[in-house]
Amino acid sequence: MTVALTLFMSGNATAQGMPTYDNTNFISLVKQLLESGKQTAQMIKSVKFLKDAKEAIEKVSSVVQQLRAVQEIADNNQRLINVMQNDLQDILNSPYIKPDEVSRVVESFDAIVQNSLDTVDFIDKILSSDYLKMSDAERAEILKAKELESKQMVSSITTKTKRYRDIISFRKMQDKVNNRETGY
């Protein structure tokens, strides 16, 4: 009778009961979650390390940019000194520069040199002290501006030197034309 009852009810009966848990799968899931947590913690440490490394690289890059700018300014100042020592002396010693022009020539070159010295003093203040608590990026920006200013000074002094040399050349040629011997 039970067999008949079982066969009779099996067609539309549903089995309900207590769910069973497979402890092995549950333990495996917990182990996977723990391992995933460890990996996530390690990834967070790696991201922090990479972020710190990036900041260090940016600081070094900024310092390198500042050093390049300072080197360029120093090179430009050396060019100014060379012009002052060589070319200016030649211009002032030329017999074709009139005595009243000597003071104007000296003043025009002196203004550029004074600006150059002021730039060097300003750069010294920026680099030696924590000038107005500026960041490396701001300091690099100011140094780049001073580098550009330094290049403009070199260009200006080169232009002035060329102009005075052209004046000397013109006056020399004019002197030769005016004092030539005529034999015709």
User: What pLDDT tens digit does each residue of the chain (184 aa) get?
Assistant: 554 445 445 555 555 666 666 677 888 888 899 999 999 999 999 999 999 999 888 888 877 888 888 888 888 888 888 888 888 888 888 888 888 888 888 888 888 888 888 888 888 877 776 655 777 778 778 888 888 888 888 888 889 889 989 999 999 999 888 887 766 6
What's the pLDDT score for residue 5?
45
- To which residue do tokens 């402890």 refer? 23
Task: Please state the length of the chain.
Answer: 184
| Gap between the Cα atoms of 150 and 113, Å rounded | 10
What's the pLDDT score for residue 170?
93
**Residue 22: left if φ>0, alpha if ψ -120 to 50, beta else—which one?**
beta
Residue 139 within any structural domain of the chain? yes
Q: Residue 123 contacts by C-beta under 8 Å, 6 or more apart in sequence?
A: 70, 73, 143, 146
Count of domains forming the chain: 1
Which residue range is the domain that position 126 belongs to? 69-172
Residue 89 within any structural domain of the chain? yes
Residue 36 within any structural domain of the chain? no
> By three-state DSSP, how is residue 169 classified?
helix
Q: Residue 147 contacts by C-beta under 8 Å, 6 or more apart in sequence?
A: 69, 72, 73, 76
How large is the C-alpha radius of gyration of the chain? 42
CA-nearest of 149, 127, 10, 125 to 77 is 149
Residue 180 within any structural domain of the chain? no
What predicted TM-score, i.e. pTM, was given to this entire model? 0.61
| Gap between the Cα atoms of 164 and 91, Å rounded | 7
| Gap between the Cα atoms of 82 and 22, Å rounded | 89
> By three-state DSSP, how is residue 12 classified?
coil
| Gap between the Cα atoms of 152 and 85, Å rounded | 19
What's the pLDDT score for residue 47?
94
Residue 124 within any structural domain of the chain? yes
CA-nearest of 172, 160, 173 to 96 is 172
